[in-house]
């Protein structure tokens, strides 16, 4: 038997209290192995706790009292620290939060006020340009009206004179007037027919503003992107591309898939795919995650875009049916109808925003992270138009 303290005897320990149910003796000892009070008989040589760690019950109780005292002191110190934190630190934190929130509000108001002021100035400038262009076109048209009114009057005078000669002169008199007839005819021929002139048209370029375009693209992508559920039409996906289950991610494969059933809608050579959604009017925006790919094309294409063969008529940007932003390694460009315009980008965008305004006949490519307009194309689009994608390196995804 291992005991901490004196050997227990039959009558050792404190006075009456709870008794051992087995021996009817006072529970004056503590068994450390079983973690419970025991009597002297249990702790003795023949008892059930022989060989256990035994100590007097009052010693264990004293140890517990000391632990409680220590714990109470720690709790008191912890309470004092919390009280000090609540009294001294939190009020300062609260004051700083109020102060910083006030400064943040002022900053937001100040910056938005500056943006608003700049927008108002730009609005005024552009409206003045529109008014000036309208006045210029109006004056050009008025000048043309005066010019052609004078021309009509001159032609009428010449015609009246020639008709008079024809009806009132005899043969000899007519012959004598030959020089005058020639001069009048020559004068009439000098009055040219009206020709189409850009000077008579309103020039829409007067409304173009880099600042307005950037703010507008940011607003459009912020408000419209993601509102339209654009997904890939699986019938159009090239056999060199794998389409995700949600039909939003295209992954390039060097091996041609044999699982794709060929059909009239499917691109059979170039790694292209069309969206299932088409647009004929209105304003539309979507974003594509292109961070993982160094070879891709993103843009729009007409539904008349051919699908079969390796010719340029099926290759995005090499025909009249597609308008795309493309990347090949560190080369970026806009392509349409075989015309390729290099774009001097220093790095590739992680996401590419596309804004299509069919009413304004405008296609815009935008980098959301920097708020940069990468390229804007103005022109007529034969509808309907489909978002179009091509990838020849890793993966691109329509942002959900």
| pTM, two decimal places | 0.66
**pLDDT tens figures, 163-176:** 998 889 888 888 88
Domain assignment of residue 92, yes or no: no
Domain CATH code at residue 340: 2.60.120.920
So what's the pLDDT on residue 105?
94
Mean pLDDT, range 128-133, rounded to an integer: 93
DSSP assignment, residue 68? Answer: H
So what's the pLDDT on residue 12?
45
So what's the pLDDT on residue 8?
52
**pLDDT tens figures, 339-372:** 999 998 988 999 999 999 998 899 999 998 888 9
Domain assignment of residue 85, yes or no: no
* In the chain, % of residues over pLDDT 70: 95
392 vs 204: which has the higher pLDDT: 392
Q: Is the pLDDT of residue 46 over 90?
A: no
Q: Is the pLDDT of residue 300 over 90?
A: yes
Q: Kindly state whether residues 393 and 269 are assigned to the same domain.
A: yes
Q: Is the pLDDT of residue 6 over 80?
A: no
**Separation between Cα atoms, residue 235 and residue 261, nearest integer Å:** 9
Q: Kindly state whether residues 176 and 220 are assigned to the same domain.
A: no
Q: Kindly state whether residues 272 and 291 are assigned to the same domain.
A: yes
Mean pLDDT, range 278-297, rounded to an integer: 94
Whole domain around residue 183: which residue ranges?
A: 124-200
Last residue of a domain, one of 200, 220, 243: 200
Q: Kindly state whether residues 297 and 154 are assigned to the same domain.
A: no
> For residue 279, what are its two tokens?
């647009």
The torsion angle over the Cα atoms of residues 77, 82, 87 and 90, rounded to 10 degrees, is: 150
Q: Kindly state whether residues 264 and 373 are assigned to the same domain.
A: yes
Residues 6+ apart with CB under 8 A from 250: 232, 237, 241, 242, 243, 244, 273, 389, 391, 395, 396, 397
So what's the pLDDT on residue 219?
86
Q: Is the pLDDT of residue 183 over 80?
A: yes
- 138 pLDDT band, cuts 50/70/90, is very high
**pLDDT tens figures, 55-82:** 998 998 899 999 999 999 999 999 999 9
Q: Is 97 helix (H, G, I), strand (E, B) or coil?
A: helix
Last residue of a domain, one of 200, 221, 237: 200
14 vs 149: which has the higher pLDDT: 149
H or E segment and range at residue 127: helix 90-168
Least confident of 26-40, 91-105, 251-265: 251-265
**pLDDT tens figures, 234-285:** 999 999 999 999 999 999 998 888 777 778 889 988 999 999 999 999 999 9
């Amino acid at each position: 038997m291992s005991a901490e303290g004196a050997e227990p005897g039959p009558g050792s320990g404190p006075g009456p209290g709870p008794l051992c149910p087995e021996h009817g003796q006072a529970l004056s000892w503590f068994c450390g192995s079983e973690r419970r009070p025991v009597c002297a008989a249990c702790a003795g040589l023949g008892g059930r706790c022989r060989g256990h760690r035994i100590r007097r019950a009052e010693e264990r109780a004293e140890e517990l009292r000391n632990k409680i005292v220590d714990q109470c002191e720690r709790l008191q110190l912890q309470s004092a620290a919390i009280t000090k934190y609540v009294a001294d630190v939190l009020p300062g934190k609260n004051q700083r939060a109020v102060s910083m929130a006030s400064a943040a509000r002022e900053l937001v108001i100040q910056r938005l006020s500056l943006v608003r002021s700049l927008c108002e100035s730009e609005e005024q400038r552009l409206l003045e340009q529109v008014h000036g262009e309208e006045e210029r076109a109006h004056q050009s048209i008025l000048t043309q009206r005066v010019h052609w009114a004078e021309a009509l009057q001159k032609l009428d005078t010449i015609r009246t004179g020639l008709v008079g000669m024809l009806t009132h002169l005899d043969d000899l008199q007519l012959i004598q007037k030959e020089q005058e007839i020639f001069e009048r005819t020559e004068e009439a021929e000098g009055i040219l027919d009206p020709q189409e002139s850009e000077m008579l048209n309103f020039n829409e370029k007067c409304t173009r503003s880099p600042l307005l375009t950037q703010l507008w693209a940011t607003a459009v992508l912020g408000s419209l992107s993601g509102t339209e559920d654009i997904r890939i039409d699986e019938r159009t996906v090239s056999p060199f591309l794998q389409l995700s289950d949600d039909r939003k991610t295209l992954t390039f494969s060097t091996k041609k898939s044999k699982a794709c059933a060929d059909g009239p809608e499917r691109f059979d050579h170039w790694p292209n795919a069309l969206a299932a959604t088409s647009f004929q009017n209105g304003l539309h925006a979507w974003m594509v995650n292109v961070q993982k790919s160094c070879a891709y094309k993103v843009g729009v294409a007409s539904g008349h875009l051919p699908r079969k063969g390796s010719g340029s008529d099926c290759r995005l940007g090499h025909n009249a049916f597609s308008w795309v932003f493309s990347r090949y390694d560190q080369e970026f460009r806009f392509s349409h109808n075989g015309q390729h315009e290099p774009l001097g980008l220093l790095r590739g965008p992680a996401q590419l925003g596309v804004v299509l305004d069919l009413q304004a006949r405008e296609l815009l490519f935008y980098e959301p992270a920097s708020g940069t307009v990468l390229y804007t194309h103005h022109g007529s689009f034969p509808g309907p138009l489909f978002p179009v994608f091509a990838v020849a390196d890793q993966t691109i995804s329509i942002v959900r």
